[in-house]
Amino acid sequence: MASERQIHVGPVPVGGGAPVAVQTMTKTETANLQATMAQIRTVAEAGADIVRVAVPREQDAEALKTIVAESPIPIIADIHFNHTLALKAIEAGAHCVRLNPGNIGGPEKVAEVIALAKLHGTPLRVGVNSGSLPKHLRQLEYDNPVEALVTAALETVELMERLDFTNFKVSMKSTSVPNTIASNRMLAKRIPYPLHLGVTEAGTKWSGSLKSAVGLGTLLADGIGDTIRISLSTFHAEEEVKVAWEILKALKLRERGPDLIACPTCGRLQFDMDTVVSEVERRLEAYEDPIEVSVLGCAVNGIGEARHADFGITGAKDMGMIYSKGEPLKKVPTEQLVDELFKEIDRYYAAGKTVQRDELAAAEARAWLAENEDDTQLTPERIAAMEAAAAEDAETVLESMLSGAGPPIEDRPAPAAALDEEVSPVAGRRFSRN
């Protein structure tokens, strides 16, 4: 269901199976070159592939020439209402122009912009916003907002095709997550052009990130969407970029930098894990390689849960342990855990991505782990594993009964009992830190 067509925004391919591109938008006054360029460099460093700048005035269109020349990533000029500014943006060399044909002053003005875009080979992002649908769709918007959005987008696509222009991507913006999902699912089936996804005015860093992760994540998991922008109410546009990357990394659509895995903690925790995880996350930002780093709050599970992690730490009251791929490397005092973890990671890179193991230190760590491990504890991880095994057993028995295959019913093993909170041996139990 990914788009068939591909366009290029500067050197960045969009659609047609290209990696999903990360976009953001500067929050500065565009004509303030120093502030705008500083923000563009910051978002590029954070991983933005493409950046959009607002062009509401003549001086912003004028500033575009310098911005395009100096930017490390392609620039999209964001135009509303004024088709003259769209023409100026194309002439200034913008790598793409975003406009909503419905608010640019009529089909003749759209045609004028398209003619110049063709001449310069400039792609457009065309689209519709739930807040500004054409008048003739107002009743439909009231009755069926999803159909109204899709109809408006299809009308825009038809206008582009009538003007013999196909160098564009489409966006449909809504503040509603369900409407964003439903409308993009419908549109993706109807047109071959790349789709730009976003939940418009999503909100603050916390709620906006969650809304975007749910809305965009659902569509991306379906294979829909070629570029994404996370709209957050913050001046720091790089935060939008970081959230976009986390969504793409979570879905394994793209890789960038380390993946941090951390347990949720529980009553067995015996050290300040919040501070440790924050510090590990902060220091990992300096690394580009997609290594997996795990932080476990205690050693009661052994390190089985993090067997796949390239590096990890597990803490306890006074001592903690550093491990790699499920094998202990060394034990260290808890307050040195983070520093020692990064020493091991740096040694690994210095040795050409080979884990450096001191056998004596590893043996000490193994002994410490054996002392601290407790395979009688029903930890959250063990309960989850037991539930999964129980569900699998029950499913196998059910399948065998339905198919009529397998041994006579009296010889069949009883399905493993699913865990019941009420009868669980740990119901209501409280764990002491002493």
Q: How far is the CB of 159 from ligand SF4 (least distance, A)?
A: 55
Minimum CB–partner distance for residue 316 and ligand SF4 (Å): 10
Q: Which is nearer to ligand SF4, 58 or 327 (CB)?
A: 327
Q: Which is nearer to ligand SF4, 266 or 418 (CB)?
A: 266
- Closest Cα partner for 78 from 96, 59, 101, 102? 96
Distance CA 180, CA 92 (A): 33
Tell me the C-alpha distance between 347 and 331, whole Å.
17
Residue 200 or 270 having the CB closest to ligand SF4: 270
- The CB-of-375 to ligand SF4 minimum distance in angstroms stands at 12
Shortest distance, position 296 Cβ to ligand SF4, whole Å: 4
The residue with its CB nearest to ligand SF4 is 297
Residue closer to ligand SF4, measured from CB, 224 or 276: 276
Chain residues in the site for ligand SF4 (CB under 6 A): 263-266, 268-269, 296-298, 300-301, 379-381
Closer CB to ligand SF4, residue 266 or residue 391? 266
Q: How far is the CB of 270 from ligand SF4 (least distance, A)?
A: 8
Q: How far is the CB of 306 from ligand SF4 (least distance, A)?
A: 9
Q: Which is nearer to ligand SF4, 266 or 363 (CB)?
A: 266
Per the CB < 8 A criterion, the answer to whether 406 and 243 are in contact is no
Smallest gap from residue 406 Cβ to ligand SF4 (A): 37
Q: Which two tokens stand for residue 181?
A: 């999902």
Nearer to ligand SF4, 38 or 266 (CB): 266
Nearer to ligand SF4, 68 or 277 (CB): 277
User: Rounded to the nearest whole angstrom, what is the least distance from the CB of residue 262 to ligand SF4 in the complex?
Assistant: 8
